[in-house]
Structure 1
Amino acid sequence: MTTAEHLDTIDRLRAKEFPPEPDRSSGQSSGPGYHLVRLSRTRDFWDDDGSGRAEAADQIAAEYGALTQALAGRWGEQQVFSVGSLLDRGFDGEEIPKPWDEVSNTSDHVHLWRAEEQWLVAYVAQWGSEDPYLLMAGVTVIDPP
């Protein structure tokens, strides 16, 4: 997908109603007050020499950079928000609200913009060290904890 297509997806998320109950389906997670969507996915990288991982990292970094630049052009300077500590806080018993708990399970930081009453979020997710990288975006009315 192109950056223009990613922006179109985010615009559609901004206009979409939030469901009353959590719902997860093919690359999208939604619930009361939020939508998260997978915009792009790198290929699997099971190469023994590690070359696939480097290529995938370069690919996702380029897509992420183009997306954050385009969003900054629309919504101004982004905030970089560390979500790594949210994981620790959750392990310590603090209840971390969705979608922030989900984000903190797959990323250590996000880029945020305030767009009227919503937060726009962009980040790179990875479930495990051997899993592909995912370019993710979200829209939420839930403030970062």
Structure 2
Amino acid sequence: MDIAKCLTVIDALCAGEFPAPDGAPKPGAPGPGHRTVELAASHGMRAGDAGARQGTAQDFRAYREAVAERLHDRWGRQPPWGQLTVRLRLGRGEAIPEPWATLSLLTDELDVWQVTDTGRWVALGVADRDEADEIRLLAAVTRTPPP
């Protein structure tokens, strides 16, 4: 895992164009006004040993914090944004815009910043809620503010 590479990817997302709409939106897929990318992923953690998975998840959270420190320097320190309320709102049938809906299902908390002078939002989180999936460090950039 390379912090400089992660920052380069996030910078490219902040500067780049978003995909044009092409039919029905799909959860987690890039769409009008947002894009989510995998910055790093575990290998062999799908339905693996619970202890090893927990240790790997802790490593990914530490890596997220290291990347977040660099982004705090750019855009200001923000407290982590817990996802439980968004999941509850989804469960009640409230329409939550993408990428926030999918991120709430994949992560327990996000670091979120509004990028100066662009109106875009950046979110950084560890997707480790699904034990049948690899652990992933995700970055999302969107024009839509958090719900």
Q: TM-score, normalised by structure 2?
A: 0.85
Distance 1:53 1:140, change over 3 A: same
Distance 1:73 1:94, change over 3 A: same
Structure 1 unaligned residues grouped into runs of 5+: none
> Aligned-pair distance for 1:58?
3.1
> Aligned-pair distance for 1:19?
1.4
Matched with 1:120 is 122
Matched with 1:64 is 64
Matched with 1:11 is 11
Decide whether the 8 Å contact of 2:123 with 2:141 is kept in 1: yes
Distance 1:102 1:7, change over 3 A: same
Letter in 2 for 1:76: G
> Aligned-pair distance for 1:29?
3.3
Matched with 1:142 is 144
Is the aligned partner of 1:30 residue 2:30? yes
Matched with 1:55 is 55
Decide whether the 8 Å contact of 1:79 with 1:113 is kept in 2: no
CA distance in structure 1 between the aligned counterparts of 2:38 and 2:48, rounded to whole angstroms = 24
- Percent of aligned pairs sharing the same letter: 32
SS in 1 for 2:39: strand
Decide whether the 8 Å contact of 1:29 with 1:37 is kept in 2: no
CA distance in structure 1 between the aligned counterparts of 2:37 and 2:55, rounded to whole angstroms = 23
Deviation per residue, 1:58-99 (Å, 9 max, x gap): 321221111111111121112422222212212212111111
Decide whether the 8 Å contact of 1:44 with 1:131 is kept in 2: no
CA RMSD of aligned residues (A): 2.1
- 4+ residue runs over 4 A deviation: none
Structure 2 unaligned residues grouped into runs of 5+: none
More strand by share: 1
> Aligned-pair distance for 1:127?
4.9
Decide whether the 8 Å contact of 2:107 with 2:128 is kept in 1: yes
Letter in 1 for 2:61: A
CA distance in structure 2 between the aligned counterparts of 1:106 and 1:13, rounded to whole angstroms = 20
SS in 1 for 2:44: coil
